[in-house]
A and B are shown apart, each in its own frame.
Chain A
Amino acid sequence: MTIERFRYDDDIVRKFVWATVIWGLVGMLVGVLIAFQLAFWKANLGIPYLTFGRLRPLHTNAVIFAFAGNSFFAGMYYASQRLLKARMYSDKLSRIHFWGWQLIIVAAAITLPLGITTSKEYAELEWPIDLAITAVWVVMAINYFGTIFKRRERHLYVAIWFFIASIVTVAVLHIFNSLELPISMTKSYSVYAGVQDALVQWWYGHNAVAFFLTTPFLGLMYYFMPKAANGPIYSYRLSIIHFWSLIFLYIWAGPHHLLFTSLPDWAQTMGMLFSLMLIAPSWGGMINGLLTLRGAWDKLREDPILKFMVVAITFYGMSTFEGPMLSIKSLNKLSHYTDWTISHVHGGALGWNGFLTYGMIYWLIPRLYGRELYSKKLATAHFWMGLLGILIYMLAMYIAGVTQGLMWLDFDSDGYLKYPNFVETVKAIVPLYWIRMFGGLLYLGGALVMLYNVVKTIAGVTVPEDTEAEAAPYERKPLVGSFHYRLEAAPVTLTVLATIAILIGGLAETIPMMAIEANVPSISSVKPYTPLELAGRDIYIREGCNNCHSQMIRPLRAEVERYGEYSKSGEFVYDHPFLWGSKRTGPDLHRIGGKYPNLWHLRHMEDPRAIVEDSIMPAYAWLLENKMNLNDVQAKVKAMKHLGVPYDRDTVTNAKTLAEAQAEAIADDLAASGIDGMQDKEITALIAYLQRLGTDIKK
C-alpha cells in the first residue's frame, strides 16, 4: 500500500487564533464600556458615535462574529485537516476567507458607531456588508467541501458533521433574514414587515445562537476535548442521536423570543415546546464531552486546559437547561425584556464559547509554535479570574432581572401597580449594573493575562514549518455496516439530509405566517407612516433606540395598566423592519404617541433628566442641532411602496413637500411653547414618528 506524505496548513490556524485573541479583547472592552454606560449614564460621553444604542450592536457583533467566529474557524481549520487527512483544498481560498472576514469585522466596527444599521439583532450590518459576508461564506464553503472531497480518511468524524451543518445553516439563515431593499449604499428596508419580520428575525437570531455559537463549538469540543483529555468519546451512538435531533429541533425554537407578543398563539406554542424538547439533544453533547474524562478526573487538578474545557461544557449544560426553562410561558412572563436574559446569554457566551476558546488556544499555541506554554500558573490564574468574572456577572444580572421583572408585574393590595413609574424599577437595579461591570472587568482581565502569556510563549520563536503527515490514499471499496455508518462516508448525502433537517422547522413556521391571512388580522384604521414619520423612524433606528425600548405591549394586565392597550399584529403591517425590541432598559414605547406634548419629547431628548430625574438614558442633544435630511425621503417612500405599503401617487410625488409641511406644523407648536427654529431639525422628524406610535387603533 502506498503512503502519501503531505503537510497541514498551520499558518492559517495561527492567523485565526490571533484574530480570535485580538477581536475578543476588542469585543469585551466594548462590552465593559456599555456596561459602564448603564451604571453611569455620563459614560455615553455626549458623543453620538459612542452612545449605548450604537455600541451595543458593535459589542454583540464583535463577540459573536469576530471572537467566536474566528475561534470557530481556527479550530475548524486545525481539526478538519487532521480528521480528513488532507491539507485544505486551496491555500488561496483559506486566505481570502481569513482576510475577507477580518475586513467585514472592520466594516462593522466603522459602520455601527456611525449609526448605519438595519436594527435587526445580530444582523445589524447593512446590505453591502451582508453581500460581502455571503461571498466570504461561499468561499469558505467551497474550500471546506473541496477539502472533504480530497480527503484521505473516508469516514467523517462527528466534529465534521457539526461543521457541515453549521456552514449550511448559517448560509440559509443569513440569506433569508437579510433580504432587504436598498435605497442607498448605507440604507435598506427589510422585505418583511411586522409579525413576519419578527418571526424571520428570531428564526435567524435564535439559530445564530444555535449554528454559530453551539454546533460549531460542539464540533470543536468533539475534537479538542478528547485530544486534551487523551480519552475516548463516551458514545458514538449518542453522538448520532444528539446530532440529528439537535439540528432538527433547534430550528423550531425561534418563537420563544416572541412569547406574549403579537405572534399568533400556535407559533408561540411551537417555540416553547420545541425549546423543551431541546434539553435532551443539547445535553447529549454535554454527556459526550464530560464523560470523555471518565476515570481521569484527577487530570483536572493539574491541567488548566481541561479546567477551561470542563467548565465550558458545564456552562453549556446549564445554559441549555436555563434556555428551555425561560421558554416556558409562565416563567417568560417574568423574565422577558429583563436582565435575566442578559445573564443567560452571558453564561453561554462567556462560559461556553469563551472558555472553550481559551482551552483550545492554550492547547493550540504550543503546537502551532513548537514551544511549551510560558506559564501554566498564569493560565490557571486566567481560569479563576474568568470563572469568578462570569459568576459575578451572571449572578448580578440574574438578581437584576428577577427584581425588575417582579417589580413590573407587582400590584398592591388595592389592585394598582406598585411601581407605576418605570424609573423606580431602574433605580433598584443600578447598583447591580456596577457589580456586573466589575464581573466583566475581571473576565477581560483574564483575557489580558492570556495575551501576556501567549506573547511571552512565542517571543523570539522561529515559526515552525507546516506539520508533516502521512496517510494511505482514499480507498473506494464497498462498505458494510449500518445506514449511518455508510452515511458518514457520503458527505454529499449527509449534507443534503442535514439541510433538509434544518429546513423543515423554518418552513413549517414561516410559510403559514406568510400565506395565511388570519395570522395577521388587518385593522382598517392602521395607515402607512407619513414621509416625515418615516424619516423619524430611521433616526430611531440610527440611534439604536430599539436596543433599550420595546414596542410591544404584552397581553398582561400589568402591561396594559402601565402602557395601554396591548399590541395587535395588525398594527405592524407597514413596519419594515419591525422594531419590537428584546430588552426594556427603558419603558415600552408602543403607545407613546399622543401621550405627551411635543415639547415634552424635545426636552426629554435634549436632557432626559430634566423630565425624569433618575433616568439613565443618554442625552441626544445633537438631534436639536442636526439638520434633517429629507433629500432621500422620496426614495424611502418609493421603496416602501415597492414592498407593498399602499402609498398613493400623491404621497410618493410630493413626499418631500409633505414632510416639510408636517415638520412646519410641529415646529409651530414648539414655537408656541418658546422653542424656535426646529422645522428643519432631526428632532422634529423623530417627534413626528414618536407621536404617531400606537395611535392608529384609537382612530
Chain B
Amino acid sequence: MVEDKKPQHQHDFDGIEENDNDLPRWWLGIFAVTIAFAVFYVPYYHFMHPEKLPHAALQAELDQRQTVLAAAEAEKAAEQPADPNATLTAAFQAGGWEESGKAVYNANCAACHAPDGGGTIGPNFTDDYYLHGGKLSDIIHVVTEGVPAKGMISWKPILKPDQIRDVSFFVRSLRGTTPAQPKEKQGELVDEAGNFVDAAAPTE
C-alpha cells in the first residue's frame, strides 16, 4: 500500500487528521474533459451550426412535416370525386366505420357531447337542428377545422383523416336516436340530406 502524503502543517481540528494525497488522475481527467467539452460546444452550436439550436431545428422539422401533409392533401384532392357528398354517403351506408368511429367518439367527443350524443357542453347530435350544416362533409369540416370561436377545437393535429371521417359518420349516425338527457336544440332545421331547410340559414 502506498504511503499517504501528509500536509506540511498539522492542526488540532478536534482530533481530525488530514492526509494530503495527490488529486486522483481520473478525477483530473473528468474535470479536464468537461471543460474541454464546454470550450468545444459553444462555437460548435452557437457559431458553426446555429441551425441545430432548438427553434431552427423545430422549424426545419415542421417544414418537413408540412411537406408530407401537403403531398397527402394534394393526392387526396386529385382523387376528389365530382360529388364528394355522394361518395361520402355511399361510404357511410357501406359501413365498416362503426367500431373505429365509436372508439374515437368515446375517447375525444363524449366529454362535451355526452356518450349518447345528447350534448352537454357542446351541442346535441340527435336532433335535426344544426349550427354548421348537417351534411357529412359539413360534419367532417367542423371536426377537422373546429369552431374556435365557440370552443370546438380543431382535431386535425390529433386525429388522422380516416379517424375524422369515421367519427363524423358516427356523429351522423346519432341523429334520430333518443338520448337520456337531450340538450335543447341549437341552430337551424336541416333536411334528411343535411341541407338547411331555410335557404337563408348560415352555412358556416
Contact = CB atoms under 8 A, between A and B. Distances in A.
Contacts of B96: none
Given A233-B17, A287-B24, A416-B160, A485 B9 contact: yes
Given A237-B23, A265-B46, A276 B37 contact: yes
A265 B53 contact: yes
B22 A235 contact: yes
Given A241-B23, A277-B35, A557-B62, A232 B30 contact: no
Interface residues of B, number: 55
Nearest to A412: B160
Nearest to A261: B54
A273 B53 contact: no
Chain B CB count within 10 A is highest, among A235, A269, A613, for A235
A161 to B, nearest CB: 12
A266 B38 contact: no
A673 interface: yes
Interface stretch (B77-85, B148-156, B196-204): B148-156
B158 A420 contact: yes
Contacts of A481: 8-9
A662 B58 CA distance: 38
A381 interface: no
B14 interface: yes
A153 B65 contact: no
Interface string B12-30: 1111111111111001101
Contacts of A281: 31
A277 B34 contact: yes
Contact of A280 (B7, B19, B27, B45): B27
A613 to B, nearest CB: 8
Interface stretch (A138-146, A391-399, A498-506, A589-597): A589-597
A283 B122 CA distance: 58
Contacts of A79: 14
B151 A594 contact: yes
B176 interface: no
Interface in B148-170: 148, 150-151, 153, 157-160
A280 B31 contact: yes
A595 B151 contact: yes
Contacts of A284: 27
B108 interface: yes
A329 B52 CA distance: 12
Interface in B106-162: 107-108, 111-112, 120-122, 148, 150-151, 153, 157-160
Interface string A267-301: 00100111011011101100100000001000000
A82 B23 contact: no
A242 to B, nearest CB: 9
Contact of A560 (B38, B62, B112, B150): B62
Contacts of A279: 30-31, 34
A249 to B, nearest CB: 10
A176 interface: no
B27 A596 contact: no
Interface string A578-622: 000000000000000011111110010000001111000000000
B19 A555 contact: no
B68 to A, nearest CB: 6
A461 B48 CA distance: 71
B75 interface: no
A234 interface: yes
B52 to A, nearest CB: 10
A266 B42 CA distance: 9
A223 interface: yes
A239 B122 CA distance: 66
Contacts of A596: 112, 121, 151, 153
Interface string A49-85: 0000000000000000000000000000001001101
Nearest to A281: B31
A449 to B, nearest CB: 30
The 7 A-B residue pairs with the shortest CB-CB distance, nearest first, are A597-B151, A280-B31, A232-B17, A273-B38, A82-B14, A420-B158, A235-B21
Interface of A: 79, 82-83, 85, 153, 155, 157-158, 223, 226-227, 231-239, 241, 245, 260, 265-266, 269, 272-274, 276-277, 279-281, 283-284, 287, 295, 329, 414-417, 420-421, 471, 481, 485, 554-557, 560-562, 566, 594-600, 603, 610-613, 673
28 contacts: A155-B11, A157-B16, A231-B17, A232-B18, A234-B19, A235-B18, A235-B19, A237-B20, A245-B31, A265-B46, A269-B41, A269-B42, A269-B45, A273-B38, A277-B34, A283-B27, A414-B160, A415-B68, A417-B157, A420-B157, A485-B8, A557-B58, A557-B65, A566-B55, A595-B151, A597-B121, A600-B112, A611-B121
Given A85-B12, A276-B37, 20 more contacts: A82-B14, A223-B14, A232-B17, A232-B18, A233-B17, A235-B19, A236-B7, A238-B27, A245-B31, A272-B41, A280-B34, A283-B30, A417-B157, A420-B158, A481-B8, A555-B57, A555-B58, A560-B62, A597-B122, A598-B151
